Amino acid sequence: MIDTDEWSISCRDIAGRPRTLRVMVRDGEVLVIAPPGEIAVLDAVEAEHVRASLREAAALALAVE
């Protein structure tokens, strides 16, 4: 992934429609934004993208403090 403070991960909602899960860093905090009012369904590859995004976001958030 590129060095950024926002990541977008493709996912699906419970009905199988394409959605996006976002991970952001703001003021030293990590934010996870799920599809509004829905469940984010992830396959194994998408889950790995979330894990990697959270790891990178946590490192950036710690650097801000």
The predicted model scores a pTM of 0.82
Structure tokens at 35: 């599809």
Assign 4 a pLDDT band (cuts: 50, 70, 90).
Answer: low
21-64 pLDDT, tens digit each: 999 999 999 999 998 888 999 999 999 999 999 999 999 999 97
pLDDT range class, residue 2, cuts 50, 70, 90: very low
pLDDT at 1: 40
Q: Where are the domains of the chain?
A: 6-64
Q: DSSP letter at 41? A: B
Please report the pLDDT score of residue 64 as a whole number: 79
Are the C-beta atoms of residues 35 and 12 closer than 8 Å to each other? no
